Amino acid sequence: MIDIKQVEKKPTVVLVGLNTDRDEDLFASSMQELRGLSEAAGMKVCAVVTQNAEAPTQATFVGSGKVEEIKTRIEYDDADAVIFNQTLSPMQIRNLEKILDREVIDRTALILQIFADRARTREARLQVESARLQYLLPRLSHMRTGLTRQGGASGSKSSKGAGEKQLELDRRHIEHRLAELRRELEAVNKERSTQRSRRLSSSVPKVALVGYTNAGKSTIMNHLINDFADGNTDEKKVLEQDMLFATLDTTIRKISPAGHRSFLLSDTVGFIDDLPTTLVKAFRSTLEEIKYADLLLEVIDFSDPDHARHMEVTDKTLAEIGAGEIPKIYVFNKSDIADELGTTMVQLPYVRDHRIYMAAAKDIGTEELLSLIDKVLLEGSQECELLIPYSKGSILAAINEGSEVINTEYLPEGTKIIAKLKKKDVNKYAEYISSTSEVHRRKQADNS
């Protein structure tokens, strides 16, 4: 991989894409995304080469004529590397590097490099290193083409050449390091599970921001932190930048807006089409934070012409990690840009059912989003009458913080409240629910 920190100028790259069966617009969008990924990795795109074909060429992925065209572009622009929009086989990378005399990077390796550059927490760094080593392991045999794989005199103890010996050493080293990483990640996962258990025991609702990369999740989170978080809000904010995968680490902050329910808001890594399998596996423990949310805010860049496909990718990824059935609000962000482009003709902010059209960067729609969060969190709630003993002040505080309290009355035997409880909280606080409460009568009828 190019180490951009060791060069003063940005490395220049030629982008290559092969379209075998995609719609032309989808293919063009995919190539534009590759440009965004390259720029996010600190590289400068100097040329783009594409080809239409029924299937990839086995030896070099693209045809021999196209390889010569790429070579010409490299020489003309003095490019440092070539980036392909698909995942290449180790043999294809080896053959292309031999012909082009330049480093060849495929889409998977590019995304892995971005993740490695952006990882900040110990857990993220461990996850990325694990993913990169898993990607590297099957490619080792094609990385030492200059070393002989045969040698040793007849009758010697080993007929293995220097290349083969080094290959085995490298493989053992990687496998050993992967085992170490698995152990370290297991320890981190246990710590995360402990923290998650504490949050789950709380009645404060859990809300998670999800969506395609660069849709505006961090912008929404920072606005909510700035306006409604306690303490030093600047320290609690996340990196907000107009680029793919600006943030990787999961961040959880408590949001306490006046006149609305408090909730824990988490921001997770953005999704992308063809996200490397090794990364999905490596980040599974982080992504599992989403599974425990009471509500998902799926943020969509409404100004992107390809936003419908981005929604499909997000929904597919959510289903893969077991979060497909969690209640969801579709947040169509950057709707002001879409309005300028003539895509939308509604007055912003606009709310319809579980959808909101807003512009987080201009702080348009924040109040309406909070009201919609309140509404969706209360869907399926049951109105209950509870009597909380004065000795159980923590229970009363939890209900006040995590539920909509309609009425409070102080009696000699305790605090009587009428509140709307979620189903799981009805079971959790069953012993305090009054026998005159409608939900209690229904439970009694079900038991009989």
| Binding-site annotation, residues for Mg(2+) | 218, 247
DSSP run (H or E) holding 105: strand 103-105
Q: How far is CA 289 from the centre of its chain?
A: 11
Residue 191 contacts residue 278 (beta carbons within 8 Å) = no
Count of other CB atoms within 10 angstroms of residue 25: 11
Beta bridge partners of 356: 331, 351
The owner of tokens 């077991």 is 322
DSSP 361: G
Task: Using alpha carbons, select from 197, 252, 1 the residue that is nearest to residue 111.
Answer: 1
Tell me the C-alpha distance between 231 and 67, whole Å. Answer: 57
Token pair, residue 326, equals 């969690």
Residue 381 contacts residue 375 (beta carbons within 8 Å) = no
What radius of gyration, in Å, describes the C-alpha atoms of the chain? 27
3 state DSSP class of 327: coil
Task: Point out the annotated binding site for GTP.
Answer: 211-218, 245-249, 267-270, 333-336
User: Considering Cα of 133, then 135, then 139, then 143, what sign does the dihedral take?
Assistant: negative
Q: What φ, ψ does residue 185 adopt, rounded to 5°?
A: -70, -35
Token pair, residue 336, equals 């002001």
Beta bridge partners of 210: 298
Token pair, residue 421, equals 């409880």
Token pair, residue 118, equals 């952006």
Token pair, residue 325, equals 């059935």
Q: What φ, ψ does residue 357 adopt, rounded to 5°?
A: -105, 120
Tell me the C-alpha distance between 268 and 247, whole Å. Answer: 8
Q: What φ, ψ does residue 267 adopt, rounded to 5°?
A: -115, 130
Task: Using alpha carbons, select from 338, 375, 377, 376 the residue that is nearest to residue 357.
Answer: 338
Strands 263-267 and 328-333, sheet pairing: unpaired
User: Considering Cα of 117, then 188, then 250, then 293, what sign does the dihedral take?
Assistant: positive
Task: Point out the annotated binding site.
Answer: 211-218, 245-249, 267-270, 333-336
